[in-house]
A = this chain, B = another copy of it.
Amino acid sequence: MANYTLYYWPLPFRGQFIRAVLAHAGATWDEPGVDAITDAMSKDIADQPVPFMAPPLLTDHDAGVSLAQMPAVLSYLGTKLALIPQDPKLAALTHKIVADANDVLDEVTRFGGRSMWTREEWDAFTGDRLPRWAQIFEATGRAHGLNADSGHMLGTSEPGLADLVTATLWFTMTEKLQELSELVGANAPHVAALSQRIMSTDALAAMRDDTDARFGHAWCGGLIEASIREMLNEQ
């Protein structure tokens, strides 16, 4: 039996952060199909494994814990797997990086596809806020031990949650939406190099082989992914 069960859509997006942490830690997990997810979501709240609105939902079988909300799941795994620095300032910065990553996902997808991109809005976003987000990660890395092609995001000798989250965000986005690589490379060159390095370890390369086989070139899915690709193809 697997160590964990991850309820998430057949997509990288938010679920990929949890997969990356589990794979990095050498943990095993299974992923029920879409029917099981929609079934858990639509249950009476009192009958859910933990009261929750939407995936990701992770069950830790050994600990008997079920948890929703990507930042909460990452905080739980980060603590359990010793991936969060002991120093309170660096621990807090790790949580900030998780929240920033979550915001970047929200902004690129217009908050889960609540509206589609127009050319004017996409140009404004990729000309201002998206580069600024990349710069925020780069400046955070620069202030905390990330330099040249070595070192990790928060200066520890081993990749921590900050590294894994940063790498999952920028690597996955630019691998699945390759037209964004230049923007990310220009505004966050060290973060781009870190992301490439982290996601190329044996454990994470194997995880990506698995998710690529299952999800193909999909990133966030849905109509909003089609809208993003329309913007990218027209550029």
Which chain B positions have C-beta within 8 A of A140? 50-51
Which chain B positions have C-beta within 8 A of A48? 139
B114→A93 contact, CB < 8 A: no
One of A5-13, A69-77, A176-184 at the interface: A69-77
B96→A139 contact, CB < 8 A: no
A139→B45 contact, CB < 8 A: yes
Q: Give the oligomeric copy count.
A: 2
Nearest B residue to A68, CB-CB? B96
Which chain B positions have C-beta within 8 A of A138? 45
**Closest CB pairs A-B (n = 4):** A76-B92, A72-B96, A69-B99, A72-B95
A135→B45 contact, CB < 8 A: yes
A106 to B71 Cα, complex, angstroms:
16
B51→A69 contact, CB < 8 A: no
B72→A75 contact, CB < 8 A: no
**A residues 39-94 touching B (CB-CB < 8 Å):** 45-46, 48, 50-53, 63, 65, 67-73, 75-76, 79-80, 88-89, 91-93
A98 to B92 Cα, complex, angstroms:
14
A168 to B67 Cα, complex, angstroms:
22
Asked whether A53 and B135 contact (CB < 8 A) given A67-B92, A67-B93, the answer is no
Of B75, B91, B99, the residue contacting A92 (CB under 8 A) is: B75
Of B46, B88, B106, B142, the residue contacting A76 (CB under 8 A) is: B88
A132 within 8 A of B: yes
A96→B69 contact, CB < 8 A: yes
A93 to B63 Cα, complex, angstroms:
14
A100→B45 contact, CB < 8 A: no
A67 to B133 Cα, complex, angstroms:
16
B110→A52 contact, CB < 8 A: no
Which chain B positions have C-beta within 8 A of A142? 46
A177 to B181 Cα, complex, angstroms:
44
**A residues 140-186 touching B (CB-CB < 8 Å):** 140, 142-143
